[in-house]
Amino acid sequence: MSDLEAFQEQIGYRFREVERLQEAMTHRSAGARHNERLEFLGDSVLNFVIAHEVFHRRLRDSEGTLSRLRANLVNRSSLAAIAREIDLGSHLRLGGGELKSGGHRRDSILADAMEAVFGAVYLDSDFDTAAQVITGLYRPRLESLPEEVVLKDPKTRLQEALQSTRRPLPGYQVLDVRGRAHHQKFRVECRLRDSDQATVGEAGSRRQAEQRAAQAMLLEIEAERPGDADG
């Protein structure tokens, strides 16, 4: 196990029982005592803390917008990004297979471990302390919350843009899947049903590839709008 002193400095909390932190850093591939129960607990603490923060920071937003804000902050990508910022991956305990496949860099493993750390802090101290750790790590994101339109994913925005001009919804088709199970690359086409316009997106999951294809189609549609060039 790597030295966890620096990591505790990074998160702004020193554990009374460092064994809890060690458990939070242990993936199920590394032993019977792993971080999944702590992850379950940390997920609940995180969701409440972030819900509380966005509720008080965005006083005029609707329930739907607050839900999207929270989802945007606690999703796998955001958690993995925070984990990378504090170098969590270098402290993970992984089984041989996960080590060989680069598990310490994988978003899912990093995000789960980040939630487990929050759960471990809560158990080692109390709710208020866990909330302080979470808000401390999330501070830059909480201080620059995105506007509502940015929260909607490209597929939703494309659908709304087409519906606003009474055009049919687009179709999505997987063109190609390459690579092994943990490192697949999906190539997906987004095609408009009332024209020959089509765009392609590539990503490590079908869903993300669809989103990228939709984003490319959005850019094409916006470029075609009359008057856009003149602002």
Mention every residue, 6+ apart, whose C-beta is less than 8 A from residue 121.
Answer: 11, 13, 15, 129, 130, 133
Torsion of CA 35, 37, 42, 48, to 10 degrees: 160
- Do 139 and 27 share a domain, yes or no? yes
- Do 140 and 159 share a domain, yes or no? no
- Do 189 and 223 share a domain, yes or no? yes
Q: How many residues does the chain have?
A: 231
- Do 129 and 226 share a domain, yes or no? no
- Do 36 and 102 share a domain, yes or no? yes
Strand 198-203, strand 185-191: pairing: antiparallel
Tell me which residue range forms the domain holding 218: 154-230
Point out the catalytic residue in the list 43, 98, 124, 189. 43
Single residue among 111, 146, 181 that ends a domain in this structure: 146
Predicted pLDDT of residue 150 = 65
- Do 184 and 86 share a domain, yes or no? no
Single residue among 146, 180, 205 that ends a domain in this structure: 146
Predicted pLDDT of residue 57 = 96
| CA-to-CA separations, 150 to 69, 76, 112, 125, 200, in angstroms, rounded | 10, 18, 25, 36, 21
Predicted pLDDT of residue 228 = 47
Q: Which amino acid is at 208?
A: Q
- Do 111 and 136 share a domain, yes or no? yes
Residue 186, H or E segment: strand 185-191
CATH code at 66? 1.10.1520.10
Q: Is there a contact between 127 and 51 (Cβ–Cβ < 8 Å)?
A: no
Single residue among 126, 146, 166 that ends a domain in this structure: 146
Reduce the secondary structure of 123-164 to three states and give it as a string: HHCCHHHHHHHHHHHHHHHHCCCCCHHHHCCHHHHHHHHHHH
- Do 222 and 140 share a domain, yes or no? no
Number of domains in the chain: 2
Point out the catalytic residue in the list 39, 53, 98, 115. 115
Which residue positions in the chain have pLDDT lower than 50? Answer: 1-2, 228-231
CATH code at 163? 3.30.160.20
| Phi, psi angles (nearest 5°) of residue 127 | -65, -45
- Do 189 and 75 share a domain, yes or no? no
- Do 108 and 139 share a domain, yes or no? yes
115 carries an active-site annotation: yes
- Do 94 and 193 share a domain, yes or no? no
Quick one: which of 185, 187, 188, 158 has its CA closest to 173? 188
Predicted pLDDT of residue 49 = 98
- Do 136 and 175 share a domain, yes or no? no
